Amino acid sequence: MKGFDAGLVVPEGLAAHGRGEAFDYLIGERTTKLAEAAIKAAAAMLLSAKSPVISVNGNVAALVPDEIVELSKVTGAKLEVNLFHGSGTRGMKVANWLQKHGAGEVLGVDEKFSKKIPEIQSNRRKVDSRGIAAADVVFVPLEDGDRTEALKKLKKKVIAVDLNPMSRTALAADITIVDNIVRTMPRLVETARKLSLSRENIPGVIKGFDNKANLRESLKTILKGSKNLSSAR
Ligand code: PTJ
C-alpha cells in the first residue's frame, strides 16, 4: 500500500499482488526446494551473461528496492525501468526511488535512448537501446506474458519470478522462480554472491536446470496445497 500511496504502484499492481498472494497461500508461503533450484540457476545465468539487465516495474520497485540494487551490483546487471501501465512521471519516480536505495545509473527513462520492440503492443514495447535492447539475459520479475514471449523471439534468455506457474511468462521464460519476490530476492543476492566466488560451477548449474520439469513439480505442490485446504474444511 505504501508503494501505491507513493505513486510507484498502479491500481492494477494491487490486483496483481492479490493474484500472487492467492498462489502463495497454496504454496504454503515458503520458498520451496524447487524455487531454491531455480534461484541458483538464475544466479548462474545472470553471472554468466555478457550484458545482463534487470527490468524493474512499479510493484518490484515498491517491494524489494534494496535487493534489486544489490543484485545489480553483485552480478553487474544494468537496471532498467520498464512499465506496463506507463507514464514518464512514474518512470522517473521509480528511477529516483531506486537511486535513493543506492542505484547508480537507471536506464529506461531517457527518451534519447528509447527503442521499440515491434512485437509488443503495450507500453512495455519501449526499451532502452543501452539496456534491454542490447541484453543477452533479462531478469523480468512479475512480468506480463506478451513481453516475455517477445523477448524470447528476440533470442534473449529470460528469467522470471512468478507465483503462478501456469502464467504465459512462467511458461515462456528460460528460468522461472515460482516464489514470492519478497522471499526470492534476498536469497538470489546471497546465492549470486556465493556463486561469484566459485565461477567454475556456473556452467554445471545452468545445464542441470530443467524449467519445464521445475514448473510441473511446482504446479503439483500448488495442487497438493489446494487439496490440503479443501480437506481441512
Ligand atoms: O508497474 P507496471 O505498470 O509495470 O505494472 C506491473 C504489473 C505487475 C501490474 C503488471 O506487470 C501486470 O499486470 O502483471 P500481471 O500480468 O498481473 O502479472 C504479474 C504476475 O506476477 C502474476 O502472475 C502474479 O501471480 C505474479 N505475482 C504478483 N505478486 C507477486 C507475484 N509473483 C511473485 N511475487 C509476488 N509478490
Beta bridge partners of 116: 126
Q: Could you tell me the three cell numbers for 123?
A: 507500453
The Cβ-side half-sphere exposure at 40, using a 13 Å CA radius, reads 22
What DSSP string describes 69-121?
Answer: HHHHHHH-PEEEE--SS--HHHHHHHHHHHHHTT---EES--GGGEEE-TT--
Q: Is the CB of 20 under 6 A from ligand 1?
A: yes
- Name the residue with cell 512514474: 90
pTM: 0.95
- Name the residue with cell 526470492: 184
Q: Is the CB of 148 under 6 A from ligand 1?
A: no
* pLDDT tens digits, 145-171: 788 888 998 999 999 999 999 999 999
List, run by run, the mean pLDDT of 10-residue segments along the chain (233 residues): 85 93 94 98 98 97 98 98 86 96 96 86 84 96 86 94 96 97 98 96 96 97 79 67
Q: Is the CB of 101 under 6 A from ligand 1?
A: no
How remote is the CA of residue 175 from the centroid of ligand 1, in Å? 17
* pLDDT tens digits, 133-152: 999 999 999 987 788 888 99
Q: Is the CB of 168 under 6 A from ligand 1?
A: no
How remote is the CA of residue 24 from the centroid of ligand 1, in Å? 13
How remote is the CA of residue 113 from the centroid of ligand 1, in Å? 26
Are 184 and 31 within 8 A, CB to CB?
A: yes
